[in-house]
Amino acid sequence: MTGGMDLYGNTARGARLELGGMIPPVVLPLDRSEEIDEPGLRREIRLLTSAGIDALVVNGSTSEGAMLSPEEQEEVCRIAVDEVAGRMPVLSGVLADSTREAVELGHRSRRAGASALLLAPVLYLHLPPRPGTVEFFRTVGREVGLPIVLYNVAPLQNLSPDLCLELAELPEVVAIKQSNENFHELADLLAVAGDRIRVLSAMEDLLFPSLVLGAHGCLAAIIAVLPELCVALHRAFQQGDYATARTLHERILPVVRALLVEENYPATVKLALRLLGRPVGPARSPLTAPSAEVEATIRRALGMAGVLP
């Protein structure tokens, strides 16, 4: 990262945040009353950072950000920034339904010390006309003054490679989390915008192929579940040891499949962490605990990956 930070520890306006490597979204521990479990959150962050990750995300989808109040989102971000203590960037998710709401959440993230915003297009409405989408990101960037990672949270709101190229011209836009499961579109995005912004793959089952294709890093929930394996995969890839990277990919793949066997995400991720000896409490209502059948599937996959305690 160049350009320095301001007195709050935020990335200074005009600074360029160079994101890459393995970036997990932090799973949010909750107590039985579904309140934020701060000791549990700090414990998860310490585990992830000790595994060698390159940055982390709070208040995104895996972190149940859309189910938190603005005050809770600010608190979670503050805790993460405090625990990381400047060792790596902290990205704060902004999942909003209007420009005004996104700016408010962005200001809260900046006040809490976030390094950048993981900013999704408006979620409830269909994608507005292209000029409105561009103006949405431009306004949030200008008003908040933090670097922006575009959150291409397809299929809810797909940002096409051509639109991403236009958004890359905005001074605050530094990266994109490509959640679109279309591998062809990732190739197109890297071809047209990969030299303008950092492209972070969120294709849970295709982290290794994404790196081969040219992605600068990965931002995916599986990294929060299996941080050591994912970091080892990235390091093997960087060293040109593609055989090891592929072997790690094949260990990770069954776990990804198991987590997505039921439309109950991120509750399945929380279940996986409990089976790994990392209890993080329930998912916030109305999400429910996965079935016994799903638990058996996840346990079996973790055993195949060789990571069960």
DSSP state of 87: S
CA separation for the pair 216, 20 (Å, rounded): 5
Determine if the peptide bond prior to 266 is cis (ω within 30°).
yes
Residue 259 to residues 8, 173, 195, 263: CA-CA distances in angstroms? 37, 31, 33, 9
CA separation for the pair 151, 172 (Å, rounded): 14
Our CA angle for 301, 216, 257, nearest 5°, is 15
CA separation for the pair 79, 4 (Å, rounded): 22
* Kind and range of the H or E run holding 224: helix 221-225
Structure tokens at 36: 């934020």
Our CA angle for 102, 154, 283, nearest 5°, is 70
CA separation for the pair 303, 309 (Å, rounded): 9
CA separation for the pair 31, 37 (Å, rounded): 6
Q: In what order do the strands lie in the sheet with 173-178?
A: 21-23, 217-219, 198-201, 173-178, 148-152, 116-119, 90-94, 56-58
Catalytic residue numbers, as ranges = 151, 177
Structure tokens at 11: 């990335």
H helices within 51-179, ranges in order?
70-84, 99-112, 130-144, 161-167
